[in-house]
Amino acid sequence: MKQNKPEKNINYIDQPITETLEKNFMPYAMSVIVSRAIPEIDGFKPSHRKILYTMYKMKLLKGARTKSANIVGQTMKLNPHGDQAIYATMVRLSRGNEALLLPYVDSKGNFGKITSRDMAFAAPRYTEAKLDEVCEELFKDIDKNTVDFVDNYDGSMQEPTLLPTTFPNILANPNKGIAVGMASNFPSFNLKELCEATIAFIQNPGVDITEIMPAPDFPTGGDLIHNKTDMHKIYDSGMGSFKIRGKIDYIKSENMLEITEIPYTTTVEQIIEKIVELIKAGRIKEINDIRDETDLKGLKIAIDLKRGTDHEKLISKLFKFTTLEDSFSCNMNLLINGRPRVLGIKAILMEWLLFRRNCITRSALFDIARLNEKLHLLYGLQKVLLDIDKAIRIIRETEQEKEVVPNLMLSFGIDEVQANYVADIRLRNLNKEYILNRVSEIEGLEEEIRKLDELSKNEKKIDKVIVKELQTTIKKYALPRKTRLISEHEVVQHVAEAHVEDYNLKVFFTAHNYLKKVTLVSLRSSGDHKIKEEDEILQEIDGTNKDEIIFFTNKCNAYKMRMHEIEDHKVSSLGVYLPNILELEPDEEVLYCVLTNDFKGFMIFGFENGKVARVPLEAYRTKTNRKKLVKAYGDEAKIVRMHYFEEEGDLTMVRESSKEIRAIVFNTSLITEKVTKNTRGIQVFRMKKGSIITALLKSEHHPFDDNEKYRITDIPKSGEELDPYEKLTLNRWIKV
């Protein structure tokens, strides 16, 4: 007979969620911010610094290239995150990947390309690398105690907390990081402009940096649309955005476009896929073929044009509808003494200057200590110079080796370190000439120590050293700017109406969210409408091909499109399915649509709670071509119906309960207009418990014989009860 095992007692302990988050999540968040995702004042994240320092210790600054797999393996002594993560980080630092304006790794082999999403880099066993020459400036005097060192993860070796960069490397390369609750996105600046701006800032902190370093510079080139006011804001705050365009050339002899430079934020595949999508949607009809012809000579996208194409208009279309024109959002968030801070350019230069001054001071103090040690030995040797024969006699006549040093100390008044130095001199060097030559170094060492001591205590002299280092950096590593600057007035914007054929049309909107755009010519020559079973046409709207159409949905959103972006349909077709082209949420549907070209008139929204809101259509006009507007109308109560009015008109509102049906007729002028789109509206129908509004109609559509019976001239009102005949016809006209 089996015995049942006793059930274990499981104790559950209630824990406040805030306490659990603070105990478990906050340390993780801080670790990501401080030790992984946000760069520091030297311009590196820990993963970058570990790779470069490993390569430095492998003597890859001057030596030949070695296999990348070897570098990755050695780096794992400092970085326990795995070989794939280490190699992917190293790839981005390489010259071959072209992700950096100032590459740190001299690479050989396939390292992929930042401009390509699909071009995979080769495995580390096939590629080779060493440190690029510019890394001399990153590691200068690192062995002179210029920066702090800490133990690695297992305490077997030490690594630097920062690299003593001789120029503001934090601004020399693009750097992006996503932490927990914060992010960082640095643009890159031309090295020559950056160093010159830093020199100018050191000499005059009030200098206008934009005069020397007008805008960022990117490794992929392109054209930066330069707005001096916006750039000043970015430089001051460390936050903001600007637009970059690719480079497109028209080859007249072949009737084709060549794209040879693209914005840093996009890829060749993204651009080609978007252009193909536009061609399929019929929004671009001027292209015969598009090809990626990138090769060893560089990036190239070729676009064959149809005969008679206006290439300038097509180029403006490509800039508008693809990522050939893209925005770069700056977020200059970096760690200063372990704390994340968003700083402007001058503040970053100031922090770097403080850091670099400290490095130079520490280097000078290190050299002073080393020279003092040497000087101390020479002072002892100088005393021996007074009687070399005596020193030789002491060493020769001392019976025990261990007593040689004490005897020298006693005879010449020198300490143990000096005595050991004298005792270790080779016999052949125990002559006056050798000792005089060595002692003559004392004066030079004393002068050098004096200069170093003055340097370590004089900020102006330290700044002169920094300026000299920056000038050397310019001379050795400066390259011409890659990203060209163009002013806003030089940019030809795509104006859709200028390229769109204008004609009259009629739009049909159905209950199942199909939209049919039919030209009047096609409408006159067509038969019956084709719609799905159980579907019905809710709206018929007159308009033109240059109008904008606004779709209002049950999620209080509004979606905007231009009519020319929707293809023409035959009456015999179902039309376009709106949830697909508007990318609606799974349970979102369009309730109403409005065509306009001047945004005149207003929208009326009726809600179940008896409130009515009036919003000018102008509130839905946007400067940018935004597709989706959230909070397009109020969400306090369920929407019953919405209507568009070009001018004042009458509305009929119906309130139903289990006992009665009542109605009111009122003019839209009674409703106060609100500029805020999601206004709650004002109470128009007085509500009773258990009653709701079931209809809001334009009054000319209902079959009441006597409008005036239900008319009100002020609000709110309780309305008049419908007679039996009007109740019978209610269901029919509610659908209108």
Q: According to the model, what pLDDT value does residue 391 have? A: 84
pTM exceeding 0.75: no
Q: In the structure encoding, which two tokens stand for residue 67, read together?
A: 């296999």
* Confidence bin at 49 (pLDDT 50/70/90): very high
Q: According to the model, what pLDDT value does residue 736 have? A: 43
Q: What residues have CB less than 8 Å from 228, skipping those under 6 apart?
A: 210, 214
Share above pLDDT 90 across residues of the chain, in percent, rounded to a whole number: 60
* Confidence bin at 160 (pLDDT 50/70/90): very high
The span from the CA of 321 to the CA of 325, in Å, is 8
The span from the CA of 242 to the CA of 228, in Å, is 11
The catalytically annotated residue of 12, 28, 126, 264 is 126
* Confidence bin at 626 (pLDDT 50/70/90): low
Judge whether 126 counts as a catalytic residue.
Answer: yes
- Nearest residue to 127 via CA among 178, 158, 101, 88: 88
| Pairing state between β 223-226 and 484-487 | parallel
The span from the CA of 431 to the CA of 264, in Å, is 69
Please state the length of the chain.
736
Q: What is the mean pLDDT of residues 15-29?
A: 80
Share above pLDDT 70 across residues of the chain, in percent, rounded to a whole number: 94
Q: In the structure encoding, which two tokens stand for residue 736, read together?
A: 């209108």
Q: What residues have CB less than 8 Å from 16, skipping those under 6 apart?
A: none
Cα maximum dimension of the chain: 141
Question: What 3 state SS string does 347-368 have?
Answer: HHHHHHHHHHHHHHHHHHHHHH
- Strands (DSSP E) contained in 246-375 are 247-251, 256-261, 287-292, 301-305, 325-331, 333-336, 339-342
Highest average pLDDT, of 35-39, 56-60, 567-571, comes from 56-60
Q: What is the mean pLDDT of residues 374-391?
A: 86
Residue 389 predicted with pLDDT over 90: no
Q: According to the model, what pLDDT value does residue 178 have? A: 87
- Between these two residues, 385 and 196, which has the higher pLDDT value? 196
The span from the CA of 612 to the CA of 696, in Å, is 10
Each residue's pLDDT tens digit, 298-313: 999 999 999 988 898 8
Q: In the structure encoding, which two tokens stand for residue 372, read together?
A: 């003092």
Q: According to the model, what pLDDT value does residue 429 have? A: 76
CA distances from 508 to 192, 519, 561, 677 (A): 61, 11, 15, 26
Each residue's pLDDT tens digit, 486-545: 987 667 665 544 567 788 899 999 999 999 998 887 777 667 788 888 888 899 999 998
Each residue's pLDDT tens digit, 580-618: 888 888 889 999 999 998 899 999 999 999 999 999 999
Q: What is the mean pLDDT of residues 220-243?
A: 94
Q: According to the model, what pLDDT value does residue 352 have? A: 97
3-state helix, strand, coil in the chain (%, to 5): 40, 25, 40
* Confidence bin at 704 (pLDDT 50/70/90): low
CA distances from 8 to 11, 109, 260, 501 (A): 10, 61, 70, 78
- Between these two residues, 504 and 345, which has the higher pLDDT value? 345
Each residue's pLDDT tens digit, 188-221: 999 999 999 999 999 999 999 999 999 999 999 9
> What domains lie within the chain, and their CATH numbers?
45-161 (3.90.199.10), 247-323 (3.30.1360.40), 355-476 (1.10.268.10), 495-593 (no CATH), 598-736 (2.120.10.90)
Q: According to the model, what pLDDT value does residue 193 have? A: 97
Mean of the per-residue pLDDT values for the chain?
A: 89
Q: What is the mean pLDDT of residues 132-144?
A: 96
- Range in 349-353, 411-415, 454-458, 475-479 with the lowest mean pLDDT: 411-415
Q: Using an 8 Å Cβ cutoff, are 481 and 193 in contact?
A: yes
Q: What is the DSSP string of 662-685?
A: EEEEEEGGGSPB-SSTT---EE-B
The span from the CA of 609 to the CA of 614, in Å, is 15
